[in-house]
Structure 1
């Protein structure tokens, strides 16, 4: 069945879910601040991780995350389809967002995101080893002079090449509302600069 033209009820749902995502990017207490981002490995196996949502942009249908450019997940994500899963317990709403991922390291957007981050937030990109590197003992990998404390601008400068922005261009959203009176579900599909919507069975 083709997506139906969006009506007032479904437009209200679409507007509200984007409001929740915008809040998720701005408020660390929001349940949508840390969704799960899923991808497929080079071997064809599913992979997933919790990531911090930094910003949601409804007008562009885009989500922004930050990541270590050396992480194995970057080639899994870059230029490939991904799924973002979030659950808002207070609203009883599950969101599954499908889209295309783009990892940006040396762009203006990445530079702006780096500049807007706090020194403490940038500290993790000073880690000596790429994420996932095998170690003989548990360790953060951070230099001793910044372990447990905020680095100075001079100390943080070498970390910039390790920082990248992950943008996800959202192409569809599966909205599920759980309720004792009966669940409701709707799928929104990006069409040009707008959206189409289709009620689906929960």
Structure 2
């Protein structure tokens, strides 16, 4: 039975770090929701445990970029079916395009990942099924030179966490706690 709030804090940080570093983690692809009640699955690319900040890659032309801007509310929902653990993160998002952190994220990406930003912007209407990529980029591992123009469309979403609602489901009795990041403390709440 989980009875320690310090354990909860450590568990949250550990799962977010694992989610950012392992594509096999249940926390690697959370649902990210914006203030316009739009939600989508995104890949968690980074977690800074010192600042409690999540990092995601995004297309600068996507509607969520305009909604979030330099400081919009963002929710991040993760669920690990095996562990029976749900985490609902709330925070403030901001979009960065031309910053050292965005540049570093671009450089750390493979050319295969970078090519996603070559084509039409998210939500562009098409007369036929499409990946949105230019025909020449379909199914190839492009060169750095080929994907260089895509940098104009690449951005990062940073989510500064404010609270994390941690829920563990168990036959013996569920446990739920909320970790307040700014206060650096947690509290138990009824599931």
Query: Would you call these one fold, judging by a TM-score over 0.5?
Result: yes
Q: Which runs of 5+ in 1 are unaligned?
A: 1-7
1:38 aligns with 2:28: no
Q: Which whole-Å CA distance do the structure 2 matches of 1:195 and 1:170 have between them?
A: 12
Q: Taking structure 2 as the reference length, what is the TM-score of the superposition?
A: 0.95
1:110 aligns with 2:99: no
Q: Give 1:87 deviation, angstroms.
A: 0.3
Point out 4+ residue stretches in structure 1 off by more than 4 angstroms.
none
Which residue of the other structure, out of 124, 129, 139, is the alignment partner of 1:133? 124
SS of the counterpart of 2:136? coil
| Cross-structure match for 1:201 | 190
Q: Which whole-Å CA distance do the structure 1 matches of 2:133 and 2:74 have between them?
A: 30
Q: Which whole-Å CA distance do the structure 1 matches of 2:122 and 2:28 have between them?
A: 21
Which residue of the other structure, out of 171, 182, 188, is the alignment partner of 2:162? 171
Q: Which whole-Å CA distance do the structure 2 matches of 1:90 and 1:77 have between them?
A: 32
| Cross-structure match for 1:27 | 22
Q: Which whole-Å CA distance do the structure 1 matches of 2:185 and 2:18 have between them?
A: 23
- RMSD after superposition: 1.1
SS of the counterpart of 1:187? strand
SS of the counterpart of 1:90? coil
How many residues align structurally? 188
Q: Which whole-Å CA distance do the structure 2 matches of 1:141 and 1:197 have between them?
A: 44
| Cross-structure match for 2:73 | 81
Q: Give 1:141 deviation, angstroms.
A: 2.0
Which residue of the other structure, out of 45, 48, 51, is the alignment partner of 1:54? 45
Q: Give 1:40 deviation, angstroms.
A: 2.1
Q: Which whole-Å CA distance do the structure 1 matches of 2:148 and 2:38 have between them?
A: 31
| Cross-structure match for 2:172 | 181
Q: Taking structure 1 as the reference length, what is the TM-score of the superposition?
A: 0.90
1:147 aligns with 2:152: no
| Cross-structure match for 1:97 | 89
